[in-house]
Structure 1
């Protein structure tokens, strides 16, 4: 049997003597059309970011949609890093500025566009090249090679296979703030942005000077560190050197928390 058309179904409804029912039906149709259009546009935008962190399908899109209920929107505001209530879990090194060894200028120009999906978090403008990403990965590999027993390079647990990440060695006792991410320290995304856990002091400076922003789940429920930030893709050689300085600062912070000296030179 052929499916009934919408008009055929509507014709069977006792609408003639029920103007309120007719009005409600018209209103429901009017409201559902833009909602469906928005959902389709949002889903296509989610897929356009590429795989990472969530299932690469409608279920992943739906899950990140649910997480919007608890996710933060003020990811470019540095204020949370300086609140005393937020600093205690990161003591005694959370308020230490490890970037002091690599003075950071204000990032030039506008920030890149970062869509509001909870995950994956990506920049869709000012993206880095494949060569830049390869150099970033090589830098992480060199750091792991210089720090056997402390650092190890393996696929990201947060982003999934295909995304290289630097971790604390499994033999190292994790600082409390890294337990939720199981010791993952930094990983590089396909468009050359990266996620790095740094000290609260450094996260404040990076955010204030336009180099980074928080993940939308950073500090939510204690699973992801508050100072887990997305650092924008390097646009030139000077910014690549600045990115290396951020990685070094993050490793010094985590190393201090774990009671391990990290060779970052």
Structure 2
């Protein structure tokens, strides 16, 4: 069983914990190491090193050093892949610097909601009609079918820009909530776990292909499907607002349900 469950259990504490960047970096590195350590992998690695100890007469101290070095290198590789994911997923939202990277990884690793119900009230999202569109499974995860018509895509971009520039119930910069829509009109939104389940169940989106699998990609990052008509833009904007309220908790904001 992975040791990362212990860090997840402390999520509510980290929600209101605002350490300086250097402390964030150290905690993220520790969390990354714990995330890739499991009893099975540790057992296999110790067994492999023990065989090397017998065959090559390696001291026990070298076995322990080799085990620690292996996980250190794996942690560094995880952070490198997280940096690549950050640059790929977040052009134009979070600043493409160390501060923006730490903020995104911090949200992905430690942020846990203070409430259980989510921000999408009952009946806010009606089932999305039609079949589920196809999407790629890479980091970009772009929608391949049922793209937005050009005029609808422009309207969505205008609504998103207006939402990000106006005052809202949350103090967090709302550009961090969503990733700028692809030409097809789909976008990525980080959601409260309950809202994430509602979006998937109602057919308005799907889990990002790397959600929870990359240090930088939150477990509740959803690919929200492109609106096919003006009326569906309203549904997409409700999902975006729910994501804004969820992440607004990081800065002490939040608020009631989206209606």
TM-score of the superposed pair, with normalisation by structure 1: 0.50
Q: Higher relative contact order by CA 8 Å / sep ≥ 6: 1 or 2?
A: 2
- Relative distance call for 1:94 and 1:187 in structure 2 (3 A) is farther
C-alpha displacement at 1:185, in angstroms? 3.5
Alignment of 1:75-154 (within 5 A): 89-93=110-114, 95-100=116-121, 103-116=124-137, 118-147=138-167, 150=171, 152=173
TM-score of the superposed pair, with normalisation by structure 2: 0.51
Q: Which residue of 2 aligns with 1:223?
A: 216
Distance in 1 separating the partners of 2:219 and 2:178: 13
2:208–2:222 Cα contact (<8 Å) kept: yes
2:133–2:144 Cα contact (<8 Å) kept: yes
Q: Which residue of 1 aligns with 2:182?
A: 189
Alignment of 1:35-54 (within 5 A): 53=88
Ranges in structure 1 where 5+ consecutive residues have no aligned partner: 1-51, 55-86, 154-165, 168-183
Ranges in structure 2 where 5+ consecutive residues have no aligned partner: 1-86, 90-107
Q: How many residues align?
A: 153
State the Cα deviation string for residues 127-177 of structure 1 (Å, max 9, x = none).
002222221221122122213994558xxxxxxxxxxxx13xxxxxxxxxx
- Relative distance call for 1:134 and 1:121 in structure 2 (3 A) is same
Instruction: Please state which structure has a larger fraction of its residues in helix.
Output: 2
Distance in 2 separating the partners of 1:96 and 1:90: 16
Instruction: Please state which structure has a larger fraction of its residues in strand.
Output: 1
- Relative distance call for 1:130 and 1:246 in structure 2 (3 A) is same
Distance in 1 separating the partners of 2:113 and 2:136: 34
Work out which of the two has the higher radius of gyration on C-alpha atoms and give 1 or 2.
Answer: 1
C-alpha displacement at 1:218, in angstroms? 0.9
SS in 2 for 1:99: coil
1:147–1:262 Cα contact (<8 Å) kept: no
C-alpha displacement at 1:246, in angstroms? 0.6
Alignment RMSD = 3.1
